[in-house]
Amino acid sequence: MTLNWQQEAAKYKDQMLADLTSLLKINSARDIEHKETDAPLGPGPRDALRQFLAIAERDGFTTKNVENVAGRIEYGQGDEIFGILGHMDVVPAGDGWETNPFEPVIKDGKIYARGSSDDKGPSIAAYYALKLLKDNGIELNKQVHFIVGTDEESAWVGINRYLEVEPKPDFAISPDANFPIINGEKGIVSYLITFKPIDGAAGEMTLVNFQSGLRANMVPQTAKAILSGAIPADFQAKFDAYLADHKLRGTITTDGEQTTLDLIGKGSHAQEPRAGVNAATHLATFLADFALDTKGGNYIGAIARLLHEDSRGHRLNINHTDDVMGDLTACPAVFNYTQDGVATVLLNVRYPKGVTAESTRRNLAETLADLADVTIDGHAQEPHYVAGSDPLVATLLNVFEAQTGLKGHEQVIGGGTYGRILERGVAFGALPEDRENVMHQANEYMYIEDIMNAIAIYADAIYRLTR
């Protein structure tokens, strides 16, 4: 094929940005509290899916909407189905944005908005690659099904429903990670740690409430604790010193009866907790030095002692390393405590081969036996790996090298993509290896240059994989 993929991709820049902007303006975080009959995951995911399919219909593609939870864009002919697996949902915006997360802003060559890098930017790049092939009249010898889900950041309702009622691709890529390729993904599981009821005396201060975290797959950026009782005279000074020592921000406010502490860390994707700064475990570590009531002190003390800055789970006795897939990671993600009610922590774990969700749960339960009960929360996903010798992996690495001039290599990540839903499924781009990963963070962005390069890479990949 003599077509210059980079030159052809460049022709679509303005139109691509317009279409991407229309998608980024939609707050498509899962919102079942406001679900409707025709929007089982909330209006936002439905609207983003409809918009994506409308773009494809405008360009002459055949599309299908599956119950407003997933959709398909079709191109090509053949007995085999090659899948492209993207998603239109996003994680909640959270705090710390310098601009409106759903009013895209272009600055310094980057487009800022929630979903710009995960996954609307990469998905629109893959779509424009397919459009490029169609516009140039290139016939494909396999069917291409661009499948779009709307619940990837949570329970995978959309993609699972799609595969129940629609044809399953024979092999697939997911434009939802990094180049040069992601052909291995760790297992993913969340554990609900529920603290056991405890009786005891009041302390100088009582923990009334402790809240932090938005989703299991995010390092919590903010944390809030509400206290009652006698606040030490040097409490503010010690808090200020802790913030300064750890380069954090926070405030203390009081209404006369209760004192509220707010602490701001750094949110990030839970796949690598070290990329963020966990506001909740820092706030607990600060509070652990003070005399709290028995229930509150038990909760705060356990967080500070067992969960703070231990991303590999050593203190929880769940650490494990595999030569191919790397370390198990543990991210305390959602905290919920009330004085007369619940006391829980949701712990997100990414685990390599060699352990299982259940074996890790047993180890956690044994470590926490005197403190809490441990249950698996939601759906657990086993580790996934496609060998480098597979033609899918080999072809994609060849494409990457041809389009970038860089050396390709295999990669395993802690993140989870739709690629793992198929035996021969991998993640492929669109984030360059040397770029900062800002997925799930405040002020998420993607370089426009990277989106344009991804269009060319995806076009070449689709062409080669459908010969």
Extended beta strands in 100-202, E state? 105-107, 110-112, 143-149, 171-174, 177-178, 184-185, 187-195
Q: Are residues 20 and 160 in the same domain?
A: yes
Rg of the chain over Cα atoms, rounded to whole angstroms, equals 24
Check which CATH number belongs to the domain holding 279 and give it: 3.30.70.360
The answer to whether the Cα torsion of 314, 364, 362, 270 is positive or negative is: negative
Position 415 confidence tier, pLDDT thresholds 50, 70, 90? confident
Q: Of the residues 327, 349, 381, which one is the last residue of a structural domain? A: 381
In this structure, what DSSP letter does residue 75 have?
E
Instruction: Using the CB atoms, write b or e for 50-85: b if 16+ within 10 Å.
Output: bbbbebbeebebebeebbbbbbbbbbbeeeebbbbb
Q: Are residues 321 and 403 in the same domain?
A: no
Q: Are residues 246 and 113 in the same domain?
A: no
Task: Identify the CA nearest to 126 among candidates 89, 85, 88.
Answer: 85
Number of domains in the chain: 2
Per-residue pLDDT reduced to its tens digit, 163-195: 999 999 999 999 999 999 999 999 999 999 999
Q: Of the residues 359, 381, 403, which one is the last residue of a structural domain? A: 381
Summary count for the chain: helices (H), strands (E): 11, 26
pLDDT at 336 over 70: yes
Q: What is the mean pLDDT of residues 384-402?
A: 97
Task: Identify the CA nearest to 411 among candidates 171, 173, 186, 87.
Answer: 186
The confidence score (pLDDT) of residue 202 equals: 78
Q: Are residues 395 and 448 in the same domain?
A: yes
Taking the C-alpha atoms of residue 401 and residue 398, their distance in angstroms, rounded to an integer, is 5
The confidence score (pLDDT) of residue 204 equals: 85
Check which CATH number belongs to the domain holding 152 and give it: 3.40.630.10
The confidence score (pLDDT) of residue 46 equals: 98
pLDDT at 296 over 90: yes
Task: Identify the CA nearest to 454 among candidates 18, 46, 58, 116.
Answer: 116
Q: Are residues 268 and 131 in the same domain?
A: no
The confidence score (pLDDT) of residue 199 equals: 78
The Cβ-side half-sphere exposure at 410, using a 13 Å CA radius, reads 16
The confidence score (pLDDT) of residue 1 equals: 58
Per-residue pLDDT reduced to its tens digit, 34-67: 999 999 999 999 999 999 999 999 999 999 999 9
Task: Identify the CA nearest to 434 among candidates 394, 459, 404.
Answer: 404
Per-residue pLDDT reduced to its tens digit, 187-215: 999 999 999 998 777 778 999 999 999 99
Per-residue pLDDT reduced to its tens digit, 60-85: 999 999 999 999 999 999 999 999 99
pLDDT at 285 over 90: yes
Q: Are residues 217 and 127 in the same domain?
A: no
pLDDT at 387 over 80: yes
Q: What is the mean pLDDT of residues 76-104?
A: 96
Percent of the chain with pLDDT over 70: 100
The domain in which residue 291 lies consists of 188-381
Q: Of the residues 381, 403, 438, which one is the last residue of a structural domain? A: 381
Helix (H) or strand (E) holding 460: helix 448-465
Q: Are residues 361 and 405 in the same domain?
A: no
The residue to which tokens 């994609």 are assigned? 396
Q: Is the pTM of this model over 0.85?
A: yes
The confidence score (pLDDT) of residue 351 equals: 97
The confidence score (pLDDT) of residue 413 equals: 92
Q: What is the mean pLDDT of residues 438-466?
A: 97
Q: Are residues 326 and 407 in the same domain?
A: no
Position 379 confidence tier, pLDDT thresholds 50, 70, 90? confident
Q: Are residues 361 and 436 in the same domain?
A: no
Answer whether 124's CB lies under 8 Å from 23's CB: yes
Q: Are residues 11 and 139 in the same domain?
A: yes
User: What are the helix (H) ranges across 218-331?
Assistant: 235-246, 279-287, 294-302
Q: Are residues 25 and 143 in the same domain?
A: yes
Q: Are residues 427 and 353 in the same domain?
A: no
Q: Report the mean per-residue pLDDT for the chain.
A: 96
Position 249 confidence tier, pLDDT thresholds 50, 70, 90? very high
Task: Identify the CA nearest to 172 among candidates 201, 211, 204, 143.
Answer: 143
Please identify every residue annotated as catalytic. Answer: 89, 152
Answer whether 151's CB lies under 8 Å from 45's CB: yes
